[in-house]
Amino acid sequence: MQKTCTLSVLKVYLLNAFLAGGAIVMLAPFVWMLSLSLKPENEIYTPFIKLLPEVWDFENYREAVNYGETGKFVFNGIVVTGSILLLQYLTIIPGAYVLARKRFRLEKLCFALVLAALMIPQHIAAIPLFMLMGRLSLLNTYTALILPFMTSAFGLFLLRQSFKALPQDLIDAARIDGASEAYALFAILVPQIFPALAAFSVFSIVSHWNDFFWPLLVVSDMELATPPLGVSIFASDEGGNDVGPMMASATLIVLPLMLVFLAARKRFVQGMTMTGLK
Amino acid sequence: MLQLKSIGKSFGATVVLKDISLNVGRGEFISLLGPSGCGKTTLLRIVAGLESLSMGRVFIGGRDVTDRDASQRDIAMVFQSYALYPHKSVGENIAFPIRMHAPWQAAIPLFGSLTPAGKALKKEIEIRVPKVAHALGLGELVHRRPAQLSGGQKQRVALARALVRDPLLFLMDEPLSNLDAALRAEMRSEIMELHRKTGCTFIYVTHDQTEAMTMSQRIVLLDKGSIRQAGTPLELYDNPNNLFTASFIGSPKLNVLPYQHSPGVVRLNGCLMRSLEAHETAAHLKEKAASVGLRAEAMKLCAPAHADAIHCRVRLIEQMGNETVVFVETDAMPGSRLAVRVARSEGNVLSEGEVLALRPEWSRALFFDVGGDRVRLRNVRRQAFLEAA
């Protein structure tokens, strides 16, 4: 009895040590970013690794906000990711509902197309999309940043699975009680799939907030730059890297994401386990 | 109140309903009864507007609603699964139909409650929800979520949600099948009480003949997508039109015995029937009968030497307390059992394995032809007498 106890305790310790190791590896760049952002310039390039700065210096942040205009990039990021998310909700919720519940001709083909779209990397479609934006004279606009992402195959797939798991009686009951189908969908069904929706939202926000590739293609005007594009100012300006302000800027940009994830963490994990997606 | 005109429904090549016509009067309690897969739920869903139909028309309250959406039909429905809205409290669940039937101004987000319609709606909810919740014994539960309720309570909430408005029709799809036996009996009388109090038109789908018999004023018996017989519970019990109705209604199940009749010879279950009554009844049959249905109470114990005696062996004795049901096996039909209802005093002296003699009560016998249709007796006066019995 005693032995099995110590063994299982040992197992827990080992497991935790393993997970802690993984966490450290994942967190190291962030910690380093935070550390560098707080150091004055003369401390950044030293032969020793020091986590804590000798002199705490918030000058980098001041520079990031004033010179780098991080506030503007964050604003652009919020406008772009927010609009993308809203448009995605408006397209994938009805779309996924129809795919889950309605029987129509070419239904199978439609779903197959969604699955196929899931497998195409964004970069393959980038050049035709760029040319399309060019033809429509939309380059260097918010529209160019938002329009290509107004729907999401992944979202359609995820929500379809969630809608499929809901009982048909629920929507029938709402319709009998006098609700239109659209009202029943948004007022009765959507609250039931909240975990999946939260999981999808985190995915969408993170991927579009962090997207560097597409904004780099369609936006050259720094007034419209999204956060990652904004950070790159410090990487190229004045011939050299301005590491301190760049790290400060990066820290500020990651912050909203962390807050979003922490807020939705519980729902996010629920949503992932619910759909059997890992 | 409800009129169905030759309703037909098919999924591809499978015919689910064929040529269903039905009239339901105001305030009537009608049951759609049948075995699973007979189309009764599909029929109810067609009435509700949740299922499209292949042919025919549906009229509710005198208006043709065939092409109308479920939300426009002014009906209420209780589902087998209750279908409560999980994210809303009990009170909000009950208030939902009122909300949905309020003028559109009341539904404006944020500002709706400030409009006159919104204020009227709020008042209406404050009056009607506690009233119906109280009537169904849900007074203290209005703030709970459906997940925190027991099965019986969920059932009551579903009823309350349906009753909160005054719909033209009240539809119920096997509402009691998820409850345990004691609760089911209780809810049965409660639903009947609700029907009496509200005076609403109820349409009740069930596969349980006891529910249909005890609750409804009229039963519509369905089989394989068509109506086999419609009538009051006692009509269906006493005077079935066919073998299906006769065997579906009643418990224990109808005993069906093979019957042969040629001039001078009557055979029931292979045994020669020698009584005068047996021959007289046979002579009055309008057509050739192939089987006889005898209810458990239409068979009597008799002396082995009786003119109509059928010899059998006791297989099982079920004590009901007030009476006893004896299941016997005959030599002519080994493996199948006949149910006989006997008085308790008679049953007490029986034991399993014992050999008995039974005789049919010819005045209560139901005759059927090869196809299962009822064969009636020729003598009108006698037939009237039999049907009254």
3 state SS of B92 = helix
Alpha helices in chain B (DSSP H): 40-48, 90-100, 116-135, 151-163, 181-198, 209-215, 233-238, 243-248, 276-284, 344-348, 380-388
- In which band, very low, low, confident or very high, does the pLDDT at B37 lie, cut at 50, 70 and 90? confident
Q: What is the mean pLDDT of residues A237-252?
A: 75
Asked whether the beta carbons of B338 and B332 are under 8 A apart, the reply is no
Asked whether the beta carbons of A116 and A154 are under 8 A apart, the reply is no
Residue B363 contacts A where some CB pair is shorter than 8 Å: no
Residue A278 has pLDDT above 80, yes or no: no
- In which band, very low, low, confident or very high, does the pLDDT at B387 lie, cut at 50, 70 and 90? low
pLDDT tens, B194-203?
899 888 899 9
User: For position A2, what pLDDT does the model report?
Assistant: 56
Q: CB distance B87–A177 less than 8 Å?
A: no
Q: Which residue's entry shows tokens 């199948």?
A: B336
Structure tokens at A9: 């305790």
Asked whether the beta carbons of A112 and A131 are under 8 A apart, the reply is no
d(CA A60, CA A53): 13
Residues 6+ apart with CB under 8 A from B300: B340, B358, B359, B361
Structure tokens at A121: 């990397």
pLDDT tens, B13-36?
889 999 999 999 999 999 999 999
Listing DSSP states for B1-67 in one string gives -EEEEEEEEEETTEEEEEEEEEEE-TT-EEEEE-STTSSHHHHHHHHHTSS--SEEEEEETTEE-TT
- Minimal Cβ distance to A175: which of B71, B80, B161: B71
Q: CB distance B71–A169 less than 8 Å?
A: no
d(CA B129, CA B295): 48
User: Count of A–B CB contacts within 8 Å?
Assistant: 57
- In which band, very low, low, confident or very high, does the pLDDT at A277 lie, cut at 50, 70 and 90? very low
> What is the 8-class DSSP label of residue B224?
T
What CATH superfamily is the domain B253-388? Nucleic acid-binding proteins (2.40.50.140)
Instruction: Describe chain A by its helix, strand, coil percentages, rounded to 5.
Output: 80, 0, 20
Alpha helices in A67-189 (DSSP H): 70-101, 107-119, 122-135, 142-146, 153-164, 168-176, 181-184
Q: CB distance B50–A169 less than 8 Å?
A: no
Q: CB distance B79–A169 less than 8 Å?
A: yes
Residue of chain A nearest B79, judged by CA positions? A169
Q: CB distance B70–A176 less than 8 Å?
A: yes
Listing DSSP states for B138-183 in one string gives -GGGTTS-GGGS-HHHHHHHHHHHHHSS--SEEEEESTTTTS-HHH
- Minimal Cβ distance to A177: which of B87, B96, B171: B96
Q: Which among B107, B98, B151, B147 is positioned nearest to B125, based on CA atoms? A: B98
Residue B383 has pLDDT above 80, yes or no: no
The domains of chain B are located at 2-238, 253-388
In angstroms, the separation between the Cα of residue A184 and the nearest Cα of chain B is 10
Residues 6+ apart with CB under 8 A from A255: none
Residue of chain B nearest A175, judged by CA positions? B71
Rounded to the nearest integer, the mean pLDDT of chain A is 85
ipTM of the complex: 0.81
In angstroms, the separation between the Cα of residue B151 and the nearest Cα of chain A is 17
In angstroms, the separation between the Cα of residue A168 and the nearest Cα of chain B is 9
Q: What is the mean pLDDT of residues B175-190?
A: 88
Residues 6+ apart with CB under 8 A from A149: A84, A87, A88, A208
User: For position A240, what pLDDT does the model report?
Assistant: 59
Residue B269 has pLDDT above 60, yes or no: yes
Q: CB distance B83–A188 less than 8 Å?
A: no
Residue B52 contacts A where some CB pair is shorter than 8 Å: no
Structure tokens at B348: 């007490």
Sign of CA dihedral A242, A243, A248, A249: positive
Chain B residues within 8 A of A192 when measuring between CB atoms: 86-87
User: For position A243, what pLDDT does the model report?
Assistant: 80
Residues 6+ apart with CB under 8 A from A211: A226, A228
d(CA B269, CA B334): 11
Pick among B71, B132, B178 to test the A interface (most A CBs inside 10 A): B71
Structure tokens at A188: 């009765």
Distances (CA, A) of B383 to A243, B123, B262, B313: 107, 61, 21, 33
How would you classify the pairing of strands B14-24 and B29-33?
unpaired
Q: Give φ, ψ of B115 to 5 degrees.
A: -75, 160
- In which band, very low, low, confident or very high, does the pLDDT at B207 lie, cut at 50, 70 and 90? very high
pLDDT tens, B74-103?
899 999 999 999 999 999 999 999 988 888
On the CB side of A103, CA atoms within 13 Å amount to: 3
Residue B87 contacts A where some CB pair is shorter than 8 Å: yes
Chain B residues within 8 A of A185 when measuring between CB atoms: none
Q: CB distance B77–A172 less than 8 Å?
A: yes
User: For position B340, what pLDDT does the model report?
Assistant: 92
Residue B71 contacts A where some CB pair is shorter than 8 Å: yes
Residue A237 has pLDDT above 60, yes or no: no
Contact residues, chain A to chain B, C-beta under 8 Å = 167, 169-170, 172-180, 183, 188, 191-192
Chain A residues within 8 A of B49 when measuring between CB atoms: 175-176
Cis peptide before B130 (omega within 30 of 0): no
3 state SS of B368 = strand
Q: What is the mean pLDDT of residues B250-266?
A: 89
Q: Give the dihedral of Cα atoms B352, B354, B355, B357; nearest 10 deg.
A: -70
* Alpha-carbon radius of gyration of chain A: 24
Rounded to the nearest integer, the mean pLDDT of chain B is 89
- Minimal Cβ distance to A176: which of B76, B84, B87: B76
* Alpha-carbon radius of gyration of chain B: 26
Chain A residues within 8 A of B75 when measuring between CB atoms: 176
Q: CB distance A167–B161 less than 8 Å?
A: no
Distances (CA, A) of A9 to A16, A22, B363: 11, 20, 82
Residue B41 has pLDDT above 80, yes or no: yes
d(CA B172, CA B167): 13
Q: CB distance A178–B101 less than 8 Å?
A: yes
d(CA B382, CA B388): 10
Pick among B88, B92, B94, B96 to test the A interface (most A CBs inside 10 A): B96
Q: What is the mean pLDDT of residues A118-145?
A: 91
pLDDT tens, B293-328?
999 999 999 888 899 999 999 999 988 888 889 999
Residue B383 contacts A where some CB pair is shorter than 8 Å: no
Q: Give φ, ψ of B2 to 5 degrees.
A: -125, 135
In angstroms, the separation between the Cα of residue A134 and the nearest Cα of chain B is 39
Structure tokens at A182: 């659209």
d(CA A93, CA A152): 11
- In which band, very low, low, confident or very high, does the pLDDT at B343 lie, cut at 50, 70 and 90? confident
Residue A267 has pLDDT above 80, yes or no: no
Residue B164 has pLDDT above 80, yes or no: yes
In angstroms, the separation between the Cα of residue A99 and the nearest Cα of chain B is 18
Residue B104 contacts A where some CB pair is shorter than 8 Å: no
Top-confidence range, A38-42, B212-216, B336-340: B212-216
Q: Which fold has domain B2-238?
A: Rossmann fold (3.40.50)
Residue of chain A nearest B70, judged by CA positions? A176
